[in-house]
Amino acid sequence: MKDVAKQRTIALLSHGGAGKTTLAEALLFLTKVTSRFGSVVDGTSVLDYEPEEIKRQSSLGSAFHSLPWKKQQITFVDTPGGENFLNDTKTVLYGVDSAVVLVDAVDMVKVSTEKGWAFADSLKLPRLVVINKMDRERADFFKALENINESFASPKAIPVALPIGAESDFKGVVDLLTLKAYSYDKTGVPSEIPVPADLEPVVEQWREKLLEAICETDDILLEKFLEGEQITNEELEPALKKAILDNHIAPVTPTAAQGLIGLSHLLDSIINRLPSPLERGSVYGHPLDKPDELVYKEPDPSAPFSGLVIKTIVDPFAGQLTIFRVFSGTLTADGGFQNVTRSQKERFGQLFALEGKAQKSIEEAGPGDIVAVAKLKNTFTGDSITDEAAPVVFPASPAMEPVVSFAVEAKNKGDEEKVFAAINKMTIEDVTLRLTRNNQTKEMILSGMGQVHVDATLEKIKRKYGVEVILKSPKVAFKETIKGRAKVQGKYKKQTGGKGQYGDAVIELEPLPRGEGFIFEDKIVGGVIPRQYIPAVEKGIVEAMAGGVVSGNPVVDCKVALVFGSYHDVDSSEMAFKIAGSMAFKKAFMECKPTILEPIMLLTVTVPDEFMGDVMGDISSRRGKLLGTETHGKKQVINAHVPQMELLAYSPVLTSMTGGRGSFSLEFAHYDEAPAQIRDKVIAEFKPQEEKE
């Protein structure tokens, strides 16, 4: 049975390009897990192995691996940093005990790093910060450190090591607790050297700051510090570890992953300062039918098994791969568990440890492990899995809402079923993808987190399933209505030599308040229309409304009263009165000042204070009506009603306007009358189609 105290389960977080994958590849190489330093540039990366990732030279999904260090095991998740793929990052954080956050020594903190930090905050994950790429031109450790503390209120970022040199002269680190300096050779092996003389004052200054920061979190040490007593490293290290666990301090260390500099110090910090599953403590959940009752699962290998699914991969040949974190108990190969979320029992054969693209068969897994099983039928991302005798539901990450939508269709005729089956499989793997049907426009709508997200998805579909998809801008679901009243007759009379057709209906048409739909009122008296034909009149009107009159869009918000008519004993029929009703409605509609309604969305935009004016101005330029603003910390939340057609390409505009720091959500609000230029355009576009038909 494994020693849980020697396990570390971490996530690597940062914006795209800060070097997460390079760092991970460097650590695997340094610890001799891999025989070569993998790179996505030349396609040798162990972690960025998908063709779409190699093409873009960036991570599009989380990858998993493990490495040994000083008789301990570090299981890590290399998360994507691109805005389009942050839901994957957010989801896998539910399966780790701590996070290593990378900040580029030149580019500093960027938007995705801010969002990753916020995700970690929400889960109270202890953090260690790496200022990476110290060997780059213009690298500045202290400027990056200042930027980190300006960007994040807590935990406080404080160095535990300082760089020796910078840019091309970066060659090692000084440990601020041991006051030892290390230089690194080309293989990443450190050699102890004297602290450079020019660094001594800086080292003394920052050691004092580190000492003060640690002591502020421990009353006993604070008293000794204030009284000027000597504090030993044996006292400082456990106090630092507790301060990290309690999210008071985020220790900072410099590295140059590409040059293998500072990596051994980083690994030491991970195993000495970040928590094991035991130190992180129990995970809470609740019984399936009692959401207010808490159940705690201790990270005990001998306890009943429990875990959480954090990722699902679907492959047309290998089938479904279900990746999960073990919270408690020991799971063995050729076993099974209860899917508590879906009330399903699952059995599996092999149990796998993940090594990037590869999977290694293992006999058992315990607390802290992230492992996988294949070909489960009813278990997906976010599901809680446990021993059947001890069920519990764990908190899981809610999926982020898509921000872009496209109408999709098969490129080649006959591939429709294959295309939509492939997309549905991709929605199992990626919960931020949504495939829906717009019943009015008859379009299939694919929604995702951005253009890159959708493009990468379609590339995967082509590669994995051999089908191609065409993207189009989705049609806006307009509706027709009226603003006036009219009373008209619809008479259908046809004589063909034998039995003819005769139906005669007089209706009154008037508008209803917005959102009221349709009302049909029977005002026939004296039997001028027999009772059996009245439903046919209503049916003809309803069908005419569904097909629209002036634009081909459904008619809404009107009331029809059937007030008079006539019939023929022989020639009248349900069909004749249905046609008469349709004729009467269309004629009346044209006399009632027809107009077009457009869908209005509730737009909620969250932006930093400095972008508020620009965003509000842009909303107004999109015919938006501002509803109000709220202040949430350093950000403003703007609510507005905006026509849907003005928001079809809003995501890239907001990203550009706010440097990626803005986010938004949309939900349908109501329909409202479109302005004359929109109305005329919609009607004009329908006429050529009508004439063609």
Q: Delimit the domains of the chain by residue range.
A: 4-280, 283-386, 404-472, 480-592, 598-677
CATH class of the domain at 404-472:
alpha beta
CA distance 381 to 393: 13
**pLDDT tens digits, 189-200:** 999 999 999 999
Whole-angstrom distance, CA of residue 45 vs CA of residue 39: 4
By mean pLDDT, which of 249-253, 440-444, 507-511, 593-597 is the weakest? 440-444
Say what the pTM is: 0.87
- The chain-wide mean pLDDT, for the chain, equals 93
Domain 598-677 has CATH 3.30.70.240: yes
- Model confidence at 78, pLDDT cuts 50, 70, 90, reads very high
| pLDDT in the model for residue 689 | 54
- pLDDT at position 153 is 87
Amino acid occupying residue 665: S
Do domains 404-472 and 598-677 share one topology? The answer is yes
User: What is the CATH code of the structural domain delimited by 4-280?
Assistant: 3.40.50.300
Cβ contact 377:352 at 8 Å:
no
> How many whole angstroms separate alpha carbon 129 and alpha carbon 251?
6
Tell me which architecture the domain covering 480-592 has in CATH: 2-Layer Sandwich (3.30)
Taken in order 528, 529, 531, 535, the sign of the CA dihedral is: negative
* Highest mean pLDDT (candidates 17-21, 267-271, 662-666): 267-271
686 has pLDDT over 90: no
**Residue 692 has what pLDDT?**
47
Is 584's pLDDT higher than 60? yes
What does the pLDDT read at residue 40?
84
Neighbours of 693 (CB within 10 A): 6
Strand-pair category, 7-13 with 72-78 = parallel
Say if residue 406's pLDDT is above 70: yes
Q: List the one residue out of 558, 540, 560 whose CA is nearest residue 487.
A: 560
Task: For domain 283-386, give the CATH superfamily.
Answer: Translation factors (2.40.30.10)
pLDDT classification of 666: cutoffs 50, 70, 90: confident
**How much is the pLDDT for 497?**
67
Left if phi > 0, otherwise alpha if psi is -120 to 50, otherwise beta: which for 639? beta
Spell 269-287 as b/e; 16+ CB within 10 A means b. Answer: bbbebbbbbbbbeebebbe
Q: Looking at residue 627, what DSSP letter applies?
A: E
What is the percent of the chain with per-residue pLDDT over 70, rounded to a whole number? 99
Tokens of residue 190, six digits: 């450190």
CB atoms within 10 A of CB 160: 27
Region 451-476 average pLDDT: 93
Q: Tell me, what's the pLDDT at 661?
A: 85
Token pair 């330093």 is found at 37
Residue 693, pLDDT score: 45
Identify the H or E element spanning 584.
helix 574-590
Instruction: Please give the backbone phi and psi of residue 533, each rounded to the nearest 5 degrees, phi first.
Output: -95, -15
Spatial CA neighbour of 241 closest among 219, 217, 265, 223: 217
Q: Are the beta carbons of 410 and 437 closer than 8 angstroms? A: no
What is residue 1's predicted lDDT score, i.e. its pLDDT? Answer: 52
